Structure 1
Amino acid sequence: MAPALVVACILWGLPRLRRAGRAAPGARLEAFMLVVAGVVVLLAGLVYFGRDGKIATYAALVVVQGTLAWWLHRRR
């Protein structure tokens, strides 16, 4: 679950660094959604490939979490 957490922290934290001082409502929910999406992708990769650590799983992780972060950012 560490890759999901790291990517979620990066995608959640970087936009907030640019807007220092302004706390967005629902920020914790956004972080939670990013982590959950990442864990789901990692579990799906584990089930599909039968083992952990496949590059395709990590690529899907970045695509899914990146798309979700983009959507959440555009929604505001």
Structure 2
Amino acid sequence: MGPLDALMHLGNLFLPGLALGALAAALAKLLWRKELAPVSFKRLALPAALAAAAVTLAGLVVFGRDGRMATYAGMVLACALTLWWRGFGPGRR
């Protein structure tokens, strides 16, 4: 495997988490317009995407491979908790 192939595999490993974080933040900003107006999109999306990516790595370590349904469920839970923390919880500032 060449360096470009390795980079593509690494990108495809983290792409679901990054997409989930961005999509969930966009939908949260759309659904709770007034409440999340003072919170920027970047402040919501970046931590949510990083949390989902961390769960992807944890799932890879725990299960020995990626793409397990438990990992995806953990990604959704981590993303939702992070969005709540940044949007409505103590992390809002």
Deviation at 1:72, TM superposition (A): 1.5
Tell me the residue number matched to 2:58: 44
What is the distance in 1 between the residues matched to 2:23 and 2:41? 14
Question: Mind listing any 5+ residue stretches in structure 1 that lack a counterpart?
Answer: none
TM-score normalised by length of structure 2: 0.67
2:15 aligned with 1:2: yes
SS at match of 2:24: helix
Task: Give yes or no for contact 2:29–2:41 (8 Å, CA) kept in 1.
Answer: no
Q: Which of 1 and 2 has greater Rg? A: 2
Residue-by-residue CA offset, 1:17-52 (whole Å, 9 max, x unaligned): 2429x8534431321111111111000100111111
By relative contact order (CA 8 Å, sep 6+), the higher-ranking structure is 1
Cα root mean square deviation, aligned: 2.1
TM-score normalised by length of structure 1: 0.80
2:46 aligned with 1:32: yes
Q: How many equivalent pairs are there?
A: 75
2:35 aligned with 1:15: no
Q: Calculate percent identity across the aligned residue pairs.
A: 36
